């Protein structure tokens, strides 16, 4: 199984925090498509595979966790 997690505003947009997908050789992009019924990804969407930033063409394997989150902004005022 592949664990998919949505963080911050994506959690509200998707209506879920986590989803499990059947394992199979795929990429981060394919995980996004499967987990969101091929929704258009937001601009500047970030992804991580097993807690490390990943490109959308990065491979995903059985047992991996893929997280999607919007870019973090902010800083000192």
Contact by Cβ (8 Å): 7, 68: yes
More confident: 31 or 23:
31
- Name the pTM for this structure: 0.88
Domains assigned to the chain: 2-69 (3.10.20.30)
- Are the C-beta atoms of residues 76 and 15 closer than 8 Å to each other? no
pLDDT tens readout for residues 35-59: 999 999 988 899 999 999 999 999 9
pLDDT of residue 77: 54
Cα 74 to Cα 32: distance, rounded to the nearest angstrom: 26
């Amino acid at each position: 199984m592949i664990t998919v997690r949505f963080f911050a505003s994506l959690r509200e947009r998707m209506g879920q925090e986590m989803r499990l997908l059947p394992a199979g050789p795929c990429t981060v992009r394919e995980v996004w498509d499967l987990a969101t019924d091929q929704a258009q990804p937001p601009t500047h969407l970030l992804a991580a595979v097993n807690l490390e930033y990943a490109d959308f063409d990065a491979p995903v394997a059985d047992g991996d966790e893929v997280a999607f989150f919007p870019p973090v902004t902010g800083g000192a005022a």
